[in-house]
Amino acid sequence: MILKRFLRRHRGALLAAVVLSAMSAVSTMGLLSHINRLAANGLPALGARPLATGIAWLLALLASNGASQFILARLGASLVAQLRVDLSNRFIDLDYETLATTKHSIVGSLIEDVASIAPLVLVAPLLAYNILLATLYAGYLASVSLPLLGILLAFLGSTLLVSLTLERYLRTRFDRLRNASDTVFEYFRYLSDGKKEMTLNASRATYVADELLGPAIQRARALSVQVNTGLGVNEAWSSAVVYGSVFVIVYLGYALLALPQATVVSFVIGALFLSGPVAFIVSAARQVGVGTASLRHLQRVGLDLAGETAGRVPDAETEPLDTWACIRLDQVAYRYPGETEPRVALGPVSLEIRRGEMVFIVGGNGSGKSTLLLVLSSLLTPHAGRVTIDGVPLDGNVRRYRERFTGVFGDFFLFPHVIDATGRRVSDDRIAQWLTALGLGTHVQVNHGELSKLALSTGQRKRLALLQCYAEDREIFFFDEWAADQDTHFRDHFYRTLLPALKTRGKTIIAISHDDRYFHVADRVVKLDGGKIVEDVRQAELT
């Protein structure tokens, strides 16, 4: 997992932090011994020497602690950066289908889980320091009085038992709290994405605030109270046990064991010093609980960090795709996950797309048009049937197959940087030519491959998305209701000029359309109804 990789990569710095922590523990122990000698024996004749020794131990403690904290701060920043890079890569490598159903959870992970996982690494050297310090204190206390140490360990054993029991109880609540936070993130998305609708409909805004967001926040609050109360009770219990044990030690040391005052005082001072490391070890359960809950959440949403990212490793070579002639769907069926009814969104369908064809896909809302487009482009994996290219299944060639496609989805996202198929920015002159051809030359400028303005009408934004397709210049262009938001003139220009120009260049075109007066432009019109193909009409039959 990522934490192991991080520990290996930064083992030198971690080792230095542990060594400095050990030096800090030894300095603390030396200071404790010096204080106890002064308390038991008083000042010697030369009063300046004990003061200098005490200051030396204090300076050693300050230097080792300060250096350790500096290293831990750098490690923390490095871990947060690495987590963000690795999670971003996982996000990029994630299947579209997984992302489509858990988008708000995954976005929340990039924000919340990174901050929760990072302390897991930072707490490790501090735990090592406090465990070492507690061990040194225990050794010192054993040299003072073994019977009193036995009493103290009995009290601390009860603290450990309660802590382990509480950790088991809180584990599920940590997970519930993380899931509740996901729900809050989802409703926060409503506030941004649905702002226009809520502004027009105050009742909708009230419903989101009072019926959705408010209860979700209160649910997260209630779980947070449970978790933090449990952790707080654990810390309060451990603190009370330590101080209670000191009281019992003083009482039994005099009343039962008849120990001299110097022994009891030395032991009490040591026991009070021991309370610090014990309190830290108990409080670390909070960071460990939150961090491990975040790790489990990442696994649930598909951002498992157990292995190396591999999304951009080339697929195994099989038959070359550069000279493909036919893409075929054989009895393909797809059903969206999470639906309560076992409704098939697409299929079974069988369809051929030949290279250089212009195919229009038509049908009513919910007929499966967009799903067919997603399956064709391999963004969705069929539950039944298979997709082949020239008779070869896509099993080992999905990445290269996807690289044949470019297009505009119905819910497209517009990037400001215009890049070609290799990831390089296109020249400003070329982009300016496209902007002029698409009627946007007076609205949008370009500077070093970056568009100056994206806040345009839906139709104009679709033209910018088409511009990006031109830049990628792939073999297969697809359009999901691209012309629906264009004015009459540009809709006509799209069907009569832009699409034929692409076909002339040898591009394969798959367009979802409702514009029946332009169906004659296509080589074929494929009609869907209820997720199945009900018509497949060729050009000769259209004219």
Residues 306-353 pLDDT 10s: 555 444 444 444 344 467 899 999 999 998 876 555 566 898 999 999
Decide if 316 is inside a domain: no
Let me know whether 337 and 292 are in one domain. no
pLDDT category at 101 given cuts 50, 70, 90 is low
Tokens of 456: 């345009």
One domain for residues 182 and 82: yes
Cβ neighbour number for residue 103 with a 10 Å cutoff:
16
Q: Considering the domain boundaries, does residue 14 fall inside one?
A: yes
Q: At 105, is the pLDDT very low, low, confident or very high (cuts 50, 70, 90)?
A: low
Is 83 within 8 Å of 282 (Cβ atoms)?
A: no
Reduced DSSP (H G I as helix, E B as strand, rest coil) percent helix, strand, coil of the chain, to 5: 65, 10, 25
* Residue-range definition of the domain harbouring residue 379: 326-542
Domain membership of residue 317 (yes or no) is no
Mean per-residue pLDDT, 432-440: 94
Asked if 134 and 281 count as a contact pair (C-beta separation under 8 A), the reply is yes
Residues in the chain, how many?
A: 543
Q: Are residues 366 and 264 in the same domain?
A: no
In terms of domains, do 87 and 122 share one? yes
Give the tens place of pLDDT for each residue, 496-514. Answer: 999 999 999 999 999 999 9
309 phi and psi angles, rounded to 5 deg? -70, 140
Same-domain check for residues 286 and 208:
yes
Q: Quote the pLDDT of residue 350.
A: 95
pLDDT of residue 486: 93
Q: Is the distance from CB of 454 to CB of 464 less than 8 angstroms?
A: yes
Is 311 within the bounds of a domain? no
pLDDT of residue 235: 77
Q: Are residues 285 and 388 in the same domain?
A: no
Cβ atoms of residues 510 and 353 within 8 Å: yes
Provide the token pair at 362.
């038509």
**Residue 25 scores a pLDDT above 80:** no
With a cut of 80, say whether residue 47 has pLDDT above it.
no
Give the chain's domain count. Answer: 2
Cα distance from N-terminal residue to C-terminal residue, the chain = 61
Domain boundary among 250, 284, 300: 300
pLDDT tens digits, one per residue of 156-166: 888 888 877 88
pLDDT > 70? residue 7? no
Q: pLDDT (tens digit, 9 = 90+) per residue, 363-391? A: 998 899 999 999 999 988 898 999 999 98
> Final residue of a domain: which of 257, 282, 300?
300
Same structural domain, 124 and 193: yes
CATH number, residue 114: 1.20.1560.10
- The C-alpha atoms of residue 214 and residue 208 are separated, in whole angstroms, by 8
What is the arithmetic mean of pLDDT over 58-79? 81
Q: In terms of domains, do 497 and 452 share one?
A: yes
Cis peptide before 348 (omega within 30 of 0): yes
Would 269 be classed as within a structural domain?
A: yes
Contact 353, 372 (CB under 8 A): no
Same domain, yes or no: 122 and 212? yes
Adjacent-strand bridge partners of 477 = 406, 509
pLDDT top residue among 55 and 291: 55
Between residues 330 and 413, which one has the greater pLDDT? Answer: 330
480 has a pLDDT exceeding 90? yes
pLDDT at 467 over 80: yes
Distance CA 16, CA 13 (A): 5
Same domain for 361 and 484: yes
Assess if residue 345 is contained within a domain: yes
Q: What percent of the chain has a predicted confidence (pLDDT) above 70? A: 86
pLDDT in tens, 253-300: 888 888 898 888 888 888 887 888 888 887 777 677 777 777 777 777
Which pLDDT does position 311 carry in this prediction? 45
Which percentage of the chain shows pLDDT scores above 90?
A: 33
Whether 426 contacts 420, CB under 8 Å: yes
Instruction: Note whether residue 310 is domain-resident.
Output: no
Give the strand order in the sheet containing 405-408: 405-408, 476-480, 508-512, 358-363, 524-529, 532-538
Q: Is the pLDDT of residue 542 over 60?
A: no
Find tokens 């029991």 and name the residue. Answer: 165
CATH code of the domain containing 475 = 3.40.50.300
Residues 376, 273 share a domain: no
Where does a domain end: 266, 300, 334?
300
Average pLDDT over residues 231-237: 80
Report how far Cα 162 is from the mean position of its chain's Cα atoms.
33
Q: What is the pLDDT of residue 538?
A: 87
**Is 306 a member of any domain?**
no
226 and 339 together in one domain: no
* Cβ partners under 8 Å of residue 450, min gap 6: 416, 417, 418, 425
Instruction: Work out the pLDDT band at 107, boundaries 50, 70, 90.
Output: low
pLDDT reading at 194 higher than 60: yes
- Which of 128-142, 432-446, 519-533 comes out lowest in average pLDDT? 128-142
List the single range of 26-40, 240-254, 310-324, 455-469 with lowest mean pLDDT. 310-324
- CA atoms of 401 and 376, how far apart (whole Å): 10
What count of other Cβ atoms lies within 10 Å of the Cβ of residue 395?
12
Question: How many other CB atoms sit within 10 Å of the CB of residue 217?
Answer: 17
Structure tokens that stand for 21 in this block: 């922590």
Which DSSP string do the residues of 293-350 spell out, in sequence order?
Answer: HHHHHHHHTT---SS---TTSPPPP-S-STT--EEEEEEEEE--TT-SS---SEEEEE
Q: Provide the pLDDT for residue 313.
A: 43
